[in-house]
Amino acid sequence: MTTSEQAPKDLVGFLDYYLVQKAPFQIPAEIKELLVKFGPWIALVLLVLSLPGLLLVLGIGTAFMPFGGVGYAAGFTYLTVLLLAQLVLLVMALPGLFKRKMSAWKLMLWSQLVGIVLSLLSGSILGAIIGGLIGLYILFQIRSLYVN
């Protein structure tokens, strides 16, 4: 194997190498265009729909913290912080996604990676692997449609 056939060492290059260049299936250009065109709108709708549930969970979780002991409080805290970080990254990415900015794509990548870590820490290993691979595959397939 020559050096040009090896995967790059940086995270983005590595994922691009395996999820785009070496992927057995490429998403057709028309589908990529639809994902980039309507993806921000879908993300916005899902964010709005998730707000009541998120606020409910945060409220109920906070109410039960005094009764859960130290373990519950510590677990609730880091999972909540990761969830909020993922949502904040998504909210920060939305304006740039509508403008097809590469900086917004990078925020989506970080949001996806935080989501994978969140799934792993909450015990959903299979969900983290499958959901993470699908999310990263789609994200890297549409990367070429975003500009600086």
pLDDT at 21: 92
pLDDT in tens, the chain (148 residues): 545 577 788 999 999 999 999 999 999 999 999 999 999 999 999 888 888 777 776 776 666 666 665 555 555 678 888 888 998 999 999 999 999 999 999 999 999 999 999 999 989 999 999 999 999 999 999 999 999 8
**What are the Cα distances from residue 21, in Å, to 8, 28, 110, 135?**
12, 14, 21, 17
Q: Is 101 helix (H, G, I), strand (E, B) or coil?
A: strand
Residue-level pLDDT at 65: 63
